[in-house]
Structure 1
Amino acid sequence: MQNAMQMGKGPVPVSRPLTLRGPCGRCPSGAGMLELPFLPFCALLGGLGVACVAFVSAWCQQWRGGFAWDGSARMFNWHPVLMVTGLVVLYGAAALVYRLPFSWRGPKLPWKVLHGALALAAFCLAVPGLVAVFSFHDARGTPNMYSLHSWLGLATVLLFSCQWLAGFASFLLPWAPAWLRALYKPVHVFFGSTILMLAVASCVSGINEKLFFSLKNGTTAYARLPPEAVFANTLGLLILLFGVLVLWALARPDWKRPEADSVDTRQPLLSAER
């Protein structure tokens, strides 16, 4: 550089490393991650979620006899459909509300309400899903809560209930102080991802358990991999892929709301200052 300056050519430009930037021009800490526009990713994920619901509905309709609410096996079929729709697809959508670029501008309250409403809708689907399986077991004299799948499923619903109540009290009601919200927020985020992982594990284990019980004898034995087994195994892979992609989106720093590291205490749902 000194030789170049002495020759009157000025300083030699120094090349700078290329960095990836997020939608708002921010350089994320995880700049090495694959650059992908969020909205096309959302469309892909939405299609995958619809495919999960369509596959589980088609499985129960085509191979398991359809739906009813009479204590029969057809009543049980509501269980996988409602659980996949609620605790996986709707809950995954609720988890990604704050990743929408539209939510990065303006007040945060409408997005808080949407996040809580989607999670509540997921819970409202999970409750009749549990009723369906318990009623089916009681009608047939089958014991409840004996398998790993049942333990995982009930733990997921109970943890989900506590998560929703704690989030509602902390972020949508006015009495929680700012320091408590800031303290609880990382806990809420952590358990949000944990519940989604538990929901995916519960669904996949439930599909496998149902296949073992339904295809354990005859020419359609599970070991022969009949069409139903191929279809249901594919459903399990779709659910797993959906959960992994949601967790991947949540882990991307450039898809977070710019003020995500601060707690919004300006607009509780029920304001004490009216």
Structure 2
Amino acid sequence: MSTANLAGNAVGAGAPFGTPVPSASGQGDVWALVDGSVRPDGGWRSEPGADAWVAVDLMRPRAVNAVTLYAGATPPSRIRVQAWTGSDWLDVANATASPATPAQGRDLVTFDTVRTRRLRLLLTADGDAPVEIREVEVRNGNLLSDASGLGLTVTPSASYTYPGDTVLGPLDGSYADVPHWTSWDSKNAQDWYAVRLDRPVTASRLVLHFYDDHGGVQPPRDYTVEYWDGTGWRPVQETGRRPERPAAGFNAVDFTPVSAAGFRLLATNQNPVDFGVYVGVTDLERLGP
């Protein structure tokens, strides 16, 4: 299952008010960027050898965290995603590109969820060739915080929750320290935080933000991401992790796509003794392939 493309507009300039509107530098056909087609005879091109930009006005603020760009025969050498604040363009946080170097075909950039009306892609030309883009798609790939709009029921649970904290905290779509979930003083060597869904969804990445109060709640010594296979929890087949060691704030695990009705963080606490050091999470996001 995947979330809807928020940038789609197959009608073009004649579409009703409120439909996404593209723009770009140069003289290319901007409507081809959002028409839903990736055919070779369509698309937009920059001036030869010139760095360029393309942008999409979503016509109202939306929560977004993924941009898919379909490049033609001459892809850019770099893609930089920016969000409009209302007065200026700012780079999105924790952007991760797949593949790392843009290539012909599908290029995906994921980043921390941001609520914005407009997104812009800065495209670095590769030598003297024009940058050729056939389609741009914008999504909120977080099926956890956006569950109600997708008809999903999400049920969080944990091995232990410190009184005053909540298992709902990591699902509010906010990176703020409060609300959060912690297992402080659980006495467990390992603690887990899980979400169960009422039907399977496909995932290839889990993003989580560890809480750190510089005291009894700090990032774990290590952690594993697991999925529910219908009878039990199984570790995902990791393909990458950023950063390599658990850190306060942003952490991401990429893995071979799996369809499952549940995902779980299994964390090893740093010092599981009376009033020791335990794990906490402020945000959890599951992103599709």
- Structure with more strand by fraction: 2
- Structure with more helix by fraction: 1
Rg larger for: 1
TM-score bracket, normalised by the shorter chain, equals: under 0.3
User: With structure 2 as the length reference, what TM-score do the two structures score?
Assistant: 0.22
